[in-house]
Amino acid sequence: MIRGATIIGILPLVPAFIEQDLKLSAWAFGVSTALFSAGLAISTWLSIRWEAVFTPQRVLVWGSLCASLCFVPIAMLQTSGTFMTFYAVCALFYGAGNITANILIARLSPSDMRGRVSSTSWMMIKSAQALSSIVYAQLAALVSISGVMLLAAFLALLLCLVVAFYWPQQTHLGTN
């Protein structure tokens, strides 16, 4: 849900940010998409490789937070080098969160409920993505894409803090 409301909601605004704010061509969008894809692949591999070292809960919270905070220098500095660098770094953290979210669903849910829990999780993520994309697009029209990126990073910080304090009390899905 954190990822759907903050990180994923901002991603549809990236092409407009590249074209309008950075004044770059479609080539820059292609390069940034390739860098993002490479970051996702690398972080997925690293998450699986280092699964025993880091707990999935920490990787998910810190990965979501760091991926969202990567939009702060992008929005503040607005240079193509800064954008390409931090967009690739964002993908490294974002991919780690992707794989660990699935690991957590598999570990924390009973086997007979795993399909329902996974379906509900994806439904919540996609709903949050759709709603936040609409809200962020409307805000970007009123303010600026840069301002919306900063807002998303701030929301991610708040949500991650809430999750970080709430999560240690939960040991299994369905407990109070």
Q: Tell me, yes or no, whether 174 lies in a domain.
A: no
Q: Does the structure show a pLDDT above 80 at 174?
A: no
DSSP reduced 3-state for 85: helix
Using CA atoms, how far residue 15 sits from 30, 82, 83, 162, in Å, is: 10, 15, 12, 31
How many independent structural domains does the chain possess?
1
pLDDT tens per residue across span 120-167? 877 877 777 777 778 888 888 888 888 888 888 888 778 777 777 766
3-class state of residue 21 by DSSP: helix
- The answer as to whether 29 is a domain residue is yes
Confidence at 87, pLDDT banded by 50, 70, 90: confident
CATH number of domain containing 118: 1.20.1250.20
159's tokens: 């949500």
Provide the residue range defining the domain that includes 54: 2-169
pLDDT in tens, 35-52: 888 888 888 787 777 766
pLDDT at residue number 9? 72
Backbone angle region of 79, left / alpha / beta, with phi > 0 → left and psi within -120 to 50 → alpha: beta
In a domain, 176, yes or no: no
pTM beyond 0.75, yes or no:
no
How many other β-carbons are positioned within 10 Å of the β-carbon of residue 146?
19
9: in domain: yes
Cβ(65)–Cβ(7) below 8 Å: no
175 lies in some domain: no
165 Cβ partners below 8 Å, 6+ apart?
A: none
No. of H helices and E strands in the chain? 9, 0
88-114: average pLDDT: 78
Position 82 pLDDT exceeds 50: yes
Residue 165 inside a domain? The answer is: yes
- Interhelix angle 56-69/80-108, rounded to 10 degrees, is 160
pLDDT at 171 exceeding the cut of 70: no
